[in-house]
Copies of this chain bind each other. A is one copy, B any other.
Amino acid sequence: MPKNAFYAQSGGVTAVINASAAGVIETARQHPDRIGKVYAGRNGIIGALTEDLIDTAQESEAAIAALKYTPAGAFGSCRYKLKGLDENRAEYERLIQVFETHDIGYFFYNGGNDSQDTTHKVAQMAEALGYHLTCIGIPKTIDNDLPITDNCPGFGSVAKYVAVSTREAAFDVASMALTSTKVFVLEVMGRHAGWIAAAAGLAREAEGDAPHVILFPEITFDEAAFLAKVQDSIDRWGYCVVVVSEGVKGPDGRFLAESGTRDAFGHAQLGGVAPVIANLIKQKLGHKFHYAIADYLQRSARHIASRTDVEQAYAVGRAAVEFALAGKNAVMPTIVREADEPYRWSIGEAPLEAIANVEKKLPRDYISEDGFGITEACRRYLQPLITGEDFPPFKNGLPDYVRLKNVPVEKKLNDHFPLKLK
């Protein structure tokens, strides 16, 4: 009897993480001699810890294929970071216990830095316990901050959403600027790295095009320089579009967002840097503004996903299974850029220990000298990642996304494992 496989989604979900799931499941189904069933963790790794497994064999071929165009986590994800082996050995032992109980020989974990670290630790623990488990990480993060891989599945679609939205809103503001809104501020995700904000720069094709100002977390906010740039844009083009990363910090090292909205308890509310920036412009320059906060809309917008991103997300899922079948362990498939234009890429391989807990920031030479835009090098890097469309099917005017049955695997341990939920 071939061993079963475990697959789980981890951390913030994306428009294409389910495409990776489809890559794993469809590829595993092509090798029934080597892989039994694919069990998914309900709500990520928590499903493994609590023996709450989903039997993906109960899903039709059509349902699994539909994952390729369905956003978010079809099996549920979680924010649950496993501690170090020495701090919480019990959790790792529990994982191995559940895997042994359900005859699981493959561990596929789909996530960002933390998840690759977890996968690495699970591999170490399995080896220490003498349990044969093939552990393969699958990259995913809208933040695009994993090392070694040229880019991360999930990022390209957010990048496309942000570039498209910037262009569209800019057309709107340009129409209205003479008598109404002169400044539009779009807040995008990216707490630590400015990859998403940088993608807005792709909306610009000619001089004067939006975005006129991008604010990156990598560049300390300089109020005077910023206001001068905004006013210059209005003087020259009649309006100004600002794209701001949620993670922008002031000279005091604090998030700009913290200086703005506070909740009823006086707690700073992150995710609100747009109103801070917009009000600053109103206060100092007097211009009428509008602002948008894209939040989850940007990372769930499967309707405007990048075809490149969808293909790569699927490919890393497929590669994970192929790596496992080839006897590899404690590795992660990567995306290797072969050429910028025409863009060519292939699948590479990285050891998990080189991925875990390393964060790739936007290089300084991807940011223009004045700190408010992107360079040609950045554009060359980003352009292929948003290229191509892959519209989902529509029904009644709406994307016809799939909901899986998510049939539970019968529990065998049936005990209670205490989770350390916050």
A293 at interface by CB-CB < 8 Å: yes
- Within 283-302 of A, Cβ neighbours of B (below 8 Å) are at 283, 290-297, 299-302
A247-255, A268-276, A329-337 - interface stretch: A268-276
Contact yes or no, B271 A43, CB < 8 A: no
Q: Decide: B279 and A269 in contact? CB cutoff 8 A.
A: yes
Residue-by-residue, is A155-185 near B (CB-CB < 8 Å gives 1, otherwise 0)? Answer: 0000010011101110111111011110010
Q: Are B398 and A202 in contact (CB under 8 A)?
A: yes
The residue from B179, B297, B304, B383 contacting A43, defined by CB atoms under 8 A apart: B179
Judge whether A355 is part of the interface by a CB distance below 8 angstroms: no
| A295–B174 alpha-carbon span in the complex (Å) | 15
Across the interface, A397 reaches (CB within 8 A) one of B160, B294, B422, namely B160
Verify if A132 is at the interface (C-beta below 8 Å from B): no
A266, chain B: closest CB distance, angstroms = 11
Instruction: Indicate if the CB atoms of B300 and A171 lie closer than 8 Å.
Output: yes
Choose from B13, B77, B168, B264 the contact partner of A301 (Cβ within 8 Å).
B168
Interface string of A381-418 (1 = CB under 8 A from B): 00100111101001011110100000000000000000
From residue 230 to 286 of chain A, which have CB atoms closer than 8 A to chain B? Answer: 260-261, 263-265, 269, 271-272, 274-275, 279-280, 282-283
The answer for the CA separation of A394 and B173 in the assembled complex, in Å, is: 21
Give per-residue flags for A214-226: 1 if the beta carbon is below 8 A from chain B beta carbons, else 0.
0000000000000
How many chain-A residues does the 8 Å CB contact rule pick out?
80
Known contacts A73-B175, A167-B401: A78-B180 contact under CB 8 Å: yes
Asked if A175 and B396 make an inter-chain contact with CB atoms under 8 angstroms apart, the answer reads no
Alpha-carbon distance A163/B169, docked complex (angstroms): 19
**In the bound complex, do residue A172 and residue B303 qualify as a contact, i.e. CB atoms below 8 Å apart?**
no
Q: How many copies does the complex hold?
A: 2
A293, B296: Cβ atoms closer than 8 Å:
no
Q: Is the CB of A169 within 8 A of B296?
A: yes
Tell whether A323 is near chain B: CB-to-CB under 8 Å.
no
Interface check A194, CB cutoff 8 A: no
Q: Is the CB of A83 closer than 8 A to any CB of chain B?
A: no
Known: A171-B71, A303-B304. A13 touches B297 (CB 8 A): no
Q: Is A366 an interface residue (CB 8 A)?
A: no
Tell me if A5 is interfacial: C-beta within 8 Å of chain B.
no
B residues in contact with A71, CB < 8 Å = 168, 171-172
A306 an interface residue at 8 Å Cβ cutoff?
A: yes
**Using Cβ atoms and an 8 Å threshold, which residues of chain B touch A391?**
389, 391
| 1/0 contact string of A70-86 vs chain B (CB within 8 Å) | 11111011111000000
- Quick check: is A421 within 8 A (CB to CB) of the other chain? yes
Nearest CB of B to A196, in Å: 15
Leading 9 A-B pairs by shortest Cβ distance: A73-B175, A386-B397, A72-B171, A292-B295, A168-B300, A172-B300, A263-B279, A387-B397, A78-B179
